[in-house]
Amino acid sequence: MADRYTKKNAEQCAERLATTLGKKFGKCWIRVDGKNVAQIGCWQYDHNSIYGGGVIEEIMNEGGGIDQPFGSRRLKPDTFCVAVNMAEKAVHIDREKKRKSE
């Protein structure tokens, strides 16, 4: 039987990747002097099943403008988590290689 991945699983995968890369994840808005201000550089997972799944977004300015650092193609939760696992493995391989060359 195949594993079933949900939006929550994909969000956890995105958070894990953010942690691996030293990025802040979630709760990207704070209240300052009565106004909502976005935290520049913060990552969030945006999911919309109608459009095919989710993407990682990065806050680019205090007004909440976003970039999608891995592209705009939305992935279903299972495919998203597979992609994140591959990205994490690549980061770990690169870090290990750099550590050994020091």
pLDDT in tens, 42-84: 999 999 999 999 999 999 999 999 999 999 999 999 999 999 9
Instruction: Parse the chain into domains and list their residue ranges.
Output: 7-96
Residue 102 confidence class, pLDDT cut points 50, 70, 90: confident
C-alpha torsion angle, residues 74, 82, 41, 72 (rounded to 10): -20
Residue 2 confidence class, pLDDT cut points 50, 70, 90: low
pTM of the predicted model, to two decimals? 0.88
